[in-house]
């Protein structure tokens, strides 16, 4: 932190601009029901995300960002204090509608979809929630707009494939998202990636998204497929679908509703922070709530998440129900 303050002082002395901003969100929660009896009636208050971001303007075309993140563990057992780690650390070159980033930066995997969903403080989008990919990676990325009016978009990245962690193998992960916005109301995007993992454990992902906005709300449809190679035994195929919408009730109140369907049991579902799923069965999640924002920087969002399961291989886990009051605020 001392180094950051010193860097800011040097920037000011050299006439460079530095912007400091951040956000905080978390919940007051109650685990009313869960397939694991040990989690039932767990309740409390946690921070699911705290960002502190430093944006540095280096020149007309060059800039840099350093962002730290803190969060509560969310595993219902760890009592450790929140510890910061680097979320973004990159330098960016931008010229017109095109930009290139080098370092630790956001991936193309759900960048567009998360922005369209608009309620990240309430819940992650489908691939993020189900641990299908990562929001960050270390590498080189490029994004921009093409065509008349910038209706075609691209977002490509080559990274280590280890998220915010360091490199541990020679493999790399390639990601590409291509978008089309035929009108201001419609957004279409296709995405694919290949993750070259150690041994015979490579992963391939494809995703499609369509979103429509109107004067009173928006609706989105997302589908993905992932193939996971396995060293011994059959490969793992995962398919998922998410349908979500938001409706403007009044200038300061919005309603939102979402349904997620996992057509296959997810072996990583038990590792999901803040809302562990069962890894033994196909899952269905319903999320509903309202967003009350007394001003543009402060939001209170009462909501409830419910997860129920199909009978899969003779197993049907019990229903999960989690009422929450989510809070979200930004500062700058």
pLDDT tens per residue, range 136-181: 999 999 999 998 888 999 999 999 998 888 887 888 999 999 999 9
pLDDT at position 167 is: 80
DSSP characters for 108-177? SSSHHHHHHH--TTT---HHHHTTSS-SEEEEEEEEEEESGGG-EEEEEEEE-SSTTSPP-SS--EEEEE
**Minimum mean pLDDT among 61-70, 195-204, 275-284: which range?**
195-204
pLDDT of 148: 81
pLDDT at 35: 95
Helix (H, G, I), strand (E, B) or coil at 281: coil
How many angstroms from the chain centroid is the CA of residue 227? 20
Strands (DSSP E) found in 280-319: 283-295, 298-309
**19-331 is a CATH 3.40.50.300 domain:** no
Q: State the pLDDT at residue 104.
A: 97
Among the ranges 1-5, 74-78, 243-247, which has the highest mean pLDDT value? 243-247
For the chain, give the mean pLDDT: 93
Question: Taking the C-alpha atoms of 263, 266, 270 and 272 in order, what is their torsion angle to the nearest 10 degrees?
Answer: -80
Q: Which residue(s) pair with 303 in the sheet? A: 289, 324
Domain ranges of the chain: 19-331
Nearest to residue 136, comparing CAs of 206, 77, 89?
89
Average pLDDT of the residues in 89-116: 97
- Residue 231, exposed/middle/buried by CB under 10 A (0-12, 13-18, 19+)? exposed
Is residue 271 pLDDT above 80, yes or no? yes
CA-CA distances (angstroms) from residue 47 to 56, 70, 292, 296, 297?
Answer: 27, 8, 19, 20, 17
Q: Is the dihedral of CA 60, 61, 62, 63 positive or negative?
A: positive
Does pLDDT of 73 surpass 80?
yes
Mean per-residue pLDDT, 68-76: 94
CA dihedral over 230, 137, 145, 207, signed as positive or negative = positive
* The pLDDT value given to residue 108: 97
Question: For residue 209, what pLDDT band results from cuts at 50, 70 and 90?
Answer: very high
Query: Is a pLDDT exceeding 60 seen at residue 12?
Result: no
Q: What is the mean pLDDT of residues 201-207?
A: 96
Q: Provide the pLDDT for residue 196.
A: 94
Residues 65-69: what's their mean pLDDT?
A: 98
| Banded model confidence at residue 6, pLDDT cuts 50, 70, 90 | very low
Q: For residues 238 and 228, is the Cβ–Cβ distance under 8 A?
A: yes
Q: Residue 233 pLDDT more than 90? A: no
Measured CA to CA, the distance from residue 43 to residue 64 in angstroms comes to 40
Structure tokens at 193: 């990636």
Q: Which of 47, 96, 92, 88 is nearest to 67 (CA)?
A: 88
What whole-number distance in Å separates Cα of residue 157 and Cα of residue 46?
33
pLDDT at 94: 97
Dihedral of CA atoms 315, 270, 260, 292 in degrees, nearest 10, equals 130
| 11: confidence class by pLDDT, cuts 50, 70, 90 | low
Provide the pLDDT confidence category of residue 80 given band limits of 50, 70 and 90: confident
Backbone angles phi, psi at 254, to 5 degrees: -125, 145
Looking at the predicted structure, is the pLDDT value of residue 133 above 50?
yes
């Amino acid at each position: 932190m001392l180094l950051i303050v010193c860097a800011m002082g040097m920037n000011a002395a050299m006439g460079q601009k530095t912007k400091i901003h951040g956000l905080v969100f978390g919940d007051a929660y109650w685990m009313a029901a869960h397939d694991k009896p040990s989690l039932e009636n767990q309740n409390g208050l946690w921070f699911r995300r705290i960002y502190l971001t430093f944006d540095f303007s280096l020149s007309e075309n060059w800039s840099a960002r350093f962002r730290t993140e803190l969060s509560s563990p969310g595993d219902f057992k760890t009592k450790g204090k929140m510890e910061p780690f680097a979320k973004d650390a990159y330098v960016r070159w931008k010229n017109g509608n095109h930009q290139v980033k080098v370092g630790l930066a956001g991936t193309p995997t759900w960048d567009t979809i998360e922005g369209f969903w608009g309620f990240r403080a309430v819940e992650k989008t489908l691939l993020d929630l189900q641990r299908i990919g990562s929001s960050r990676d270390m590498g080189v990325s490029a994004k921009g707009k093409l065509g008349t009016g910038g209706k075609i978009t691209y977002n490509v990245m080559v990274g280590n494939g280890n998220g915010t962690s360091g490199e541990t193998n020679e493999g790399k992960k390639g990601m590409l998202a291509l978008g089309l916005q035929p009108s201001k109301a419609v957004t279409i995007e296709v995405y694919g990636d290949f993750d070259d993992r150690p041994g015979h454990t490579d992963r391939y992902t494809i995703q499609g998204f369509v979103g429509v906005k109107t004067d009173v709300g928006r609706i989105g449809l997302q589908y993905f497929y992932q193939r996971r190679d396995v060293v011994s035994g059959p490969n793992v195929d995962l398919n998922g679908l998410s349908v979500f919408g938001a409706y403007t009730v009044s200038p300061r109140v919005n309603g939102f509703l979402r349904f997620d369907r996992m057509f296959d049991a997810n072996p990583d579902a038990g590792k999901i922070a803040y809302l562990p799923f069962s890894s033994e069965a196909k899952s269905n999640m319903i999320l509903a709530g309202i967003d009350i924002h007394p001003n543009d920087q402060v939001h209170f969002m009462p909501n409830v998440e419910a997860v129920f399961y199909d009978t899969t291989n003779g197993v049907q886990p019990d229903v999960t129900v989690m009422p929450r009051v989510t809070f979200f605020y930004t500062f700058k």
